[in-house]
Amino acid sequence: MTDIKKEENKKDNSPPTTPPTSTNNDNNVKEENKINKVDDNVKENENDNEKEIKIERSLTENLNQRFYNNNNKNNNENENIDYKNFKTIKDFGYYYNDKGELRSIEGEEKFKFVNQQHYDRLGDIIVKTIQNKMKSEPINLEEHWIPKGETNQCNIFTSKDFFENKSKLMVFINGSGAVKSGQWARSLCINDTLDSGSILPYLNDAISNGFSIIVLNPNYNKFEEKIIDEDDDNEKEEKKEEKEEEKDEKEDDKPKKKKRFDNSIKGSENSNNHILTVYDEFIKKSPATDIVIVAHSFGGVNTTYLLDNRGEEIGDKLKAVAFTDSVHSLSPKSSSFTKSFYADENKTKNWVKSEKKLNTDLGFSKLQGCNLASAGHTVHEFTSSTCRIPLFKFILNSLKK
């Protein structure tokens, strides 16, 4: 596991371990009592959606502000650079050393924040770097672009034995914000190490323990430019075909009506839709008799949504849910299956940020409906990496019950 630096325990600006609760508007109580039950349900759903959006926005803002300051905001030389043209980490003057640390090619210095476009573009390319590692030895995951046959697609990953492993399956769900499939925290992938910021150590542990794997991508909701590897001939060919199609359209003299381009991804318009789509198209078809879920941060909200909507289907197979600083909460509308599964201390646990020693029992959370344990770190983003060992022990023990 990654060694944690002392300076990372400085003032904590991380998002709350549990989501904030909303209060009723006293002025509207009388009027609301006149509304029929159908309208009440609609309003409750809207409030829940707004609540989740606020939680997700809060998490994203905290993630974006945690580890960097605008060290170069007075450096006008960087203002006119279009970083969208950068295709590799090397283009930014960085590389990953053997310890998984991002360092400058010249001077071996840590990452320095330039501006948001620079940071975001580098982050996008780092996603590709991680996903390439996921597809390479010794992990060897397969990449799937969904939905098939559509122009707008997002990618997920499965182990090669996903449709053959009849024993056990591990499902990975990351948090909200800019992170994509394969990441826990983009800020750590840039400012700390790939071991702390990515799911790579988890994948190695899952494989060594005989699990098949599926890695979801709940934040990939709109079509994005595919970053082409210089040595990827298949992706080069796809790019070439796209350019040829664009050329043919320009050469067509026939007048065309302008159409509004919808870049949303069918079945993954939002994170909750993505979870259900991947369940219906992949997880449901796995022959594994035992399924476990590992979810970080807002991934806990998505997991709860999955259990509320597919609990009866997945119930017999689901053996454990392991959260890392999840921000989910239960409500009166939560399904009985979700409530009972979360309440079982042998099946569900949330490792939360805490000053307490790693894996210290922190009791039962009524708001979240599950038992809590210390992740051994006070910073939200580090929780997944610091609690990995006790988390896997918990999962393996749950399979013996």
Catalytic residues: 297
Q: CA separation (Å) from 221 to 61, 186, 298, 351, 356?
A: 19, 17, 15, 28, 37
Sorted by sequence, the CB contacts under 8 Å of residue 287 that are 6+ apart come out as 163, 164, 165, 166
Q: Which two tokens stand for residue 30?
A: 């009388």
Q: CA separation (Å) from 215 to 174, 188, 258?
A: 9, 19, 37
- Dihedrals phi, psi of 74, to nearest 5 degrees: -95, 5
Q: CA separation (Å) from 333 to 27, 293, 301, 309, 370?
A: 24, 22, 14, 11, 16
- Dihedrals phi, psi of 204, to nearest 5 degrees: -60, -40
Contact 198, 184 (CB under 8 A): yes
Of 107, 78, 84, 81, the closest CA to residue 94 belongs to 107
Buried-state track 118-142, b at ≥16 Cβ within 10 A, e below 16: bbebbbbbbbbbbbebbeeeebebe
Contact 155, 145 (CB under 8 A): yes
Q: Which two tokens stand for residue 391?
A: 């988390």
Sorted by sequence, the CB contacts under 8 Å of residue 344 that are 6+ apart come out as none
Q: In whole angstroms, what is the distance from residue 357 CA to residue 138 CA? A: 32
